Amino acid sequence: MQESKVIIITGGSSGIGRAAALRFASQGDKVLITGRRAGPIEKTMAEHQNIAGLIADTASAEDAERTIAEAIGKWGRLDTLVNNAGAGAILPLSDVAAERIADIFSVNVVGPSLLARAALPHLQATRGTIINISSTFGHRPAAGLSHYAASKAALEHLTRCWALELAPLGIRVNAVAAGPTESGALTGMMGLSAEAAEAVKDEERARIPLGRRGVPDDIARWIVQLAGPASQWMTGQVLAVDGGLGLA
């Protein structure tokens, strides 16, 4: 049996992060999930004894330090940081305001950077790994999504730059670029009404070559794979798990 590892997943109380937490936990790893609300964290913790939770906002620099310290305090090591929490909005250029751009970039770019910095010595000690969660729109343009897309493009390039910078320390850095996946994201993070979300889902289903939207576990299984020994000679890659949408 594989040795038990310690994993941090930001935004691990819903959708893709929750599915990854359950997969890691069920293979025996210890998982710390974060989120801003206690309720969903407690619900996810109740699903597996290997899952612990911390209320922390990825947009907060202080919370980045606190998150890493919590995992180290609990289990004394860190093997994998999954930068999964995301922010976004349907945001046409005509509606752009400085705070709205800052809100997106503070969760998708600044937060992952500060978490990664705080994690560095611990990941070096375990020859660990960072996995960033991007989107099809991190490498494909989309009208009305420019700042979300640009923030994910930044995260994909951080992935490649950190991979080079951290390879001498034995730390691998990869990303999973998820395609449209069933989760709370359209009505939550993207702020759509239930009706508008359904219309987007129909349109996406029609465009995805494999003919369906993803489910969180489609993405979670690759997050777990990138953290594991099968990926030990792989770094700096952005793996598209998107039903072929990025090709269409």
Ligand X SMILES: NC(=O)c1ccc[n+]([C@@H]2O[C@H](COP(=O)([O-])OP(=O)(O)OC[C@H]3O[C@@H](n4cnc5c(N)ncnc54)[C@H](OP(=O)(O)O)[C@@H]3O)[C@@H](O)[C@H]2O)c1
Residues near ligand X (CB under 6 A): 10-11, 13-17, 34-37, 40, 57-59, 84-88, 107, 133, 135, 178, 180-181, 183-185, 188-189
* 133 contacts 216 by C-beta, under 8 angstroms: no
The gap from C-alpha 72 to its chain's centroid, in whole angstroms, comes to 20
Q: How far is the CB of 1 from ligand X (least distance, A)?
A: 29
Does 148 participate in catalysis according to the annotation?
yes
CA distances in angstroms from 58 to 130, 161, 173, listed in the order given: 15, 21, 19
Q: What is the DSSP string of 15-42?
A: HHHHHHHHHHHHTT-EEEEEES-HHHHH
CB of 133 to ligand X, least distance (A): 4
Residue 40 or residue 246: which is nearer to ligand X going by CB?
40
Minimum distance, C-beta of residue 213 to ligand X, in the bound complex (Å): 7
- 123 or 178, CB closer to ligand X? 178
Q: In what order do the strands lie in the sheet with 51-55?
A: 51-55, 30-35, 6-9, 80-83, 129-135, 172-178, 238-241
Q: Which is nearer to ligand X, 3 or 195 (CB)?
A: 195
Of these residues, 24, 75, 137, 148, which one is catalytic? 148
Catalytic positions: 148
